[in-house]
Amino acid sequence: MNDILSTRNWRYATKKFNPDKKISPENLDLLLEAIRLSASSYGLQPYKVFVVTDKALRKQLRPASWGQSQIEDASHLIVFANQNNFGGELVDDYLSILSKTRNIPLENLKGYGDFAKSKLVDLPSSVKSNWTAKQAYIALGNAMQAAAELNIDSTPMEGFEVEKYDALLGLEEQGLTAAVVLAIGYRSEEDETQHLAKVRKSKEELFTLI
């Protein structure tokens, strides 16, 4: 139980990364697997995750990120990109995976598929985009906690110009848009914010028991 809280108290939004300290391939694989295992509504995972290590590309992304140093200095940059729009194929693709994974005949899944489509396919495109972005944020939360459990620092970032990210990463032609960015790596000893007390609302202010 103490580990659950200790990792959450240990992590903070790292302001300055050590650019010379990199995440091992083994830990990166663990982190990406934690993201892959994230929950999502109907299990559909309507997003893609881009792991950016290319230095030249990250140099281009930095001005589109309000000049924040984490973009270049972190070991890796993870971009969660949600689907802009979708049709019944989103559900059909999931059912295909479900059928193969659990060895269930596809025709036996038709009822579930029809129900999911009835709730999703006819939504306005703006609502769809908002919903898929929310699913990406669930994955972000899993990534941040998994990173903390591995003693990897992270910084969730919404301070970036979406259109420029989409252009630099070629997202628009894939029907995607950048939802949120996560810089991961190891804190610099010069980052003074690591020593500051965590500021949160009290339990009495935050929670209402009904």
Of the candidates 143, 131, 120, the one whose C-alpha atom is nearest the C-alpha of residue 179 is: 131
Choosing among 3.20.20.70, 3.40.50.720, 3.40.109.10, 3.40.190.10, the CATH entry for 2-85+123-206 is 3.40.109.10
pTM recorded for the entire structure: 0.96
CA atoms within 13 A on the CB side of 94: 20
Backbone angles phi, psi at 18, to 5 degrees: -85, 110
pLDDT in tens, 47-94: 999 999 999 999 999 999 999 999 999 999 999 999 999 999 999 999
Residue 1 confidence (pLDDT): 55
Residue 186 confidence (pLDDT): 98
Residue 206 confidence (pLDDT): 98
Indicate the SS3 state at residue 40: coil
Residue 3 confidence (pLDDT): 87
Number of other CB atoms surrounding residue 175 within 10 Å: 13
Backbone angles phi, psi at 63, to 5 degrees: -60, -30
How far is the C-alpha of 127 from the C-alpha of 120, rounded, in Å? Answer: 9
Kindly state the tokens that stand for 40: 């999502």
Kindly state the tokens that stand for 34: 């934690």
Residue 110 confidence (pLDDT): 97
Residue 169 confidence (pLDDT): 98
Kindly state the tokens that stand for 176: 């995607």
Give the residues of the chain that fall short of pLDDT 50: none
Of the candidates 188, 210, 180, the one whose C-alpha atom is nearest the C-alpha of residue 70 is: 188
Q: Where are the chain's structural domains?
A: 2-85+123-206, 87-120
Contact 98, 109 (CB under 8 A): yes
